[in-house]
Amino acid sequence: MQRIDEKTNVVVEIPTREEIEKLQVGDLVINCFGEQRKITNIFARGNNLINGKAYICFYSEFGNGSEVSGSYAEDVLVRTVALSRYYTSHELDMIEKNLQPKQLKKVQDAVDKILGR
């Protein structure tokens, strides 16, 4: 969660391979409007043929029986209307670039702890 001011928070999410691979119908995701909603249908998942990174395409609840499509890609910032209201595309690129090494370090630290390094 990124705090914009005293009243405004937006979700900043960069899903990992493990998070994408575990997603199932009924799980919560961030939709294109920055709202957390349940997945209603998964219509594609796999690995990108160029870089091998995981992806998933889904529909999530939107309201009054409607759905909105969305997708997650491994190590790629989930860009939402809410984020775009506060950040330029360049700023979002920088957030994505700066968060990834921290995420990877957290994963590596957890692995090291498990392996006793």
Q: Characterize 1-35 residue by residue with b for buried, 16 or more Cβ atoms within 10 angstroms of its Cβ, and e for exposed.
A: eeeeeeeeebebbbbbeebbeebeeeeebbbbebb
Is pLDDT at 10 greater than 60 in this prediction?
Answer: yes
**Model pLDDT for residues 11-70, shown as the tens digit of each residue:** 778 899 999 999 999 999 999 888 889 999 999 999 999 989 999 999 999 988 899 999
The residue with greater pLDDT, 28 or 114, is 28
Is pLDDT at 112 greater than 80 in this prediction?
Answer: no
Structure confidence at residue 79 as a pLDDT band (50, 70, 90): confident
**Predicted pLDDT at 7:** 58
